[in-house]
Structure 1
Amino acid sequence: MIIDTHLHLIYRSRLSYPWLSSVPPLDADFTLERYAGEARRLGIAAALHMEVDVAEGDINRETALINELSGHENSLLAGAIASCRPESADFPAYLAEIRNQPLVRGFRRVLHVMPDDLSEGALFRENIRRLSGTGLTFDLCVLPHQIGKAAALADLASDVSFILDHCGVPDIKSGGFDAWKAPLAEISRRPNVTVKLSGIPAYGAENWTLEDLKPYFDHVAASFSFDRMVWGSDWPVCTLGGGLSAWVGATHALLSGVPLEQKTRVLSGNAKRIWGISA
């Protein structure tokens, strides 16, 4: 069984996605029905929706849409990671509102396309500290040179679970292993940071192979261990690197030498523990 901790859904008639026009292959509707048909064949039993960087005015509407979809019969949606703006003075009120929505299990503020100093602002950091004691997680989507800034955020609230998306976004296509290796190892020293095995097919060459991914996977596993690793599809972004089936197949190949108990933690057990998912 697999729990997908990083599913994006795109409904262009319901929400505005300003960034889609710059990525034509993703400028389409990617619905829950479209995802579920393939996901169920692959053993995916539940999924967390990951915010899709909608227009700021649509953040609450995105959460409402996911709530609606989760109520459909046999829905795979088991929770949501909502968008947020910790740099805003309105964040405390937003946090209070979100805490009344049981479907929401955490937050993400996309940082890898934002100025490097965004997360260093006093208000941003104060609001990250507000997550302490809430049980809500915070996903860190950063480039390799920003991983140190992500580590600094994790240091602000030791009881908050931070999730490092996409293995820290290594530039696999251009051979960026050396620039990524040390920062990844450094952030792994924080016991409240979990790494997400996701996204990496999209960072490889168009004709990537398992051998291209393996050094990155091996370093992630050595740094975090399988006790602090969860799996995510990054659908539909994974369609840029072969698609959902190709990524699930590559995941099983990467985990082929791992004991069953540890493999189960990566594919479902750790997600159940961190987000309280029952599937």
Structure 2
Amino acid sequence: MSAPRIDAHQHFWQIARGDYGWLTPALGPIHRDFGPADLAPLLARHGIESTILVQAAPTEAETRFLLGIAAKTRFVAGVVGWADFNAPDIARRIAALAVDPLLVALRPMVQDIEDENWLARPELAPAFEAMIARGLVFDALLKPEHIPAALSMLARHPTLPVVIDHAAKPDLSKPDLVPGDLSAWREGIAALAAHPNTLCKLSGLVTEAASDWTIETLRPVVEHLLATFGPERLIFGSDWPVVTLRAEYSRWHDTATALLAGCSAAERDAIFGGNAARLYLARRGRQPT
């Protein structure tokens, strides 16, 4: 029996809620509401049974909003939420959120935090320890400059399950990218992959590329991810609807499939669902919907 097919990174939002500071009219096609009815036909087209719904606002109110959607939406298997890791009562806050079994992970929006070394702060330990105690995953929304701090955090909390969102966002915008342009990212990814409890999402790459990207733009990145994390620690995600700034859902799905053509069928099954089920759902006693 093949593994369930899971899109492990997608978003919904309602702009009128007012807590999406990054979501401005300048973002054009995604500056509107998105909900389950928009995504369902795309999932059906590609045989994807379940998703992981990811936060897009730094508020607990939005996390509870997403949990409410998940409770009513058959295909949403889990929610990656947000909590204020700087709060003095963060352990209590995490415990309260984790009462809902649909919460599978937390994601502070590290890329938007001014201090590049924020993740290395020892005073964040209560948040990470509370997540470990509750069986939650840490979704790391990083850029390459945040990797050193992430490595410090991983050394301090080696049992914390971590997934690197969007492969830490390598800069793919240069028209004539050469291997040297990605040297710092490549070294950082290899160091992250050396931690066995750390996985990586195959997602968000096209929005780091120029509008005329091709499969060859992405190939060096995906080859490096396969060489470092291996198929057993890579997870497919669409980053829908953000992905539509550079590609329709189907184009990204088909591109990822083509880039993984050298993997075995079992390895592709793992990347397109099995690994996400193991990371997010099994530890919370859940199964794909």
**TM-score interval, normalised by the smaller of the two chains:** over 0.9
For the Cα contact (< 8 Å) 2:137–2:163, is it kept in 1? yes
Number of the residue aligned with 1:121: 121
Residue type of the alignment partner of 1:172 = L
Number of the residue aligned with 1:278: 288
Mean Cα deviation higher: 119-128 or 178-187: 119-128
Number of the residue aligned with 1:201: 206
**Structure 1 alignment gaps of length 5 or more:** none
Residue type of the alignment partner of 1:136 = L
For the residues of structure 1 that align with 2:26 and 2:188, how far apart are their CA atoms? 28
Number of the residue aligned with 1:148: 148
| 1:43 to partner: Cα distance | 1.6
For the Cα contact (< 8 Å) 1:194–1:230, is it kept in 2? yes
For the residues of structure 1 that align with 2:217 and 2:83, how far apart are their CA atoms? 34
Residue type of the alignment partner of 2:88 = A
TM-score by length of 1: 0.93
2:228 to 223, 239, 242: 223
TM-score by length of 2: 0.90
For the residues of structure 1 that align with 2:271 and 2:15, how far apart are their CA atoms? 32
- Kindly provide the CA deviation profile for residues 63-96 of structure 1, in whole angstroms up to 9, marking residues without a partner as x: 3322332233x63111101112212213111111
Residue type of the alignment partner of 2:11 = H
For the Cα contact (< 8 Å) 2:117–2:146, is it kept in 1? no
Q: Which runs of 4+ in 1 moved over 6 A?
A: none
For the Cα contact (< 8 Å) 1:82–1:108, is it kept in 2? yes
Number of the residue aligned with 1:48: 52
Report the 3-state secondary structure (helix = DSSP H, G, I; strand = E; otherwise coil) of the residue aligned with 1:234: coil
For the residues of structure 1 that align with 2:199 and 2:55, how far apart are their CA atoms? 18
For the Cα contact (< 8 Å) 1:87–1:118, is it kept in 2? no
Residue type of the alignment partner of 2:184 = A
What is the 5 A alignment of 1:128-277? 128-174=128-174, 175=177, 176-276=181-281, 277=287
| 1:146 to partner: Cα distance | 1.2
For the residues of structure 2 that align with 1:133 and 1:97, how far apart are their CA atoms? 13
Report the 3-state secondary structure (helix = DSSP H, G, I; strand = E; otherwise coil) of the residue aligned with 1:78: strand
Mean Cα deviation higher: 28-37 or 223-232: 28-37
- Kindly provide the CA deviation profile for residues 16-52 of structure 1, in whole angstroms up to 9, marking residues without a partner as x: 2111127422321111211112221122110011110
For the Cα contact (< 8 Å) 1:87–1:121, is it kept in 2? no
Residue type of the alignment partner of 2:163 = I
For the Cα contact (< 8 Å) 1:86–1:125, is it kept in 2? no
For the residues of structure 2 that align with 1:210 and 1:247, how far apart are their CA atoms? 10
Number of the residue aligned with 1:11: 14
Report the 3-state secondary structure (helix = DSSP H, G, I; strand = E; otherwise coil) of the residue aligned with 2:13: coil
Report the 3-state secondary structure (helix = DSSP H, G, I; strand = E; otherwise coil) of the residue aligned with 2:153: helix
- What is the Cα-based RMSD across aligned positions, in Å? 1.6
Report the 3-state secondary structure (helix = DSSP H, G, I; strand = E; otherwise coil) of the residue aligned with 2:132: coil
Report % sequence identity: 26
**Structure 2 alignment gaps of length 5 or more:** 282-286
Residue type of the alignment partner of 2:119 = S
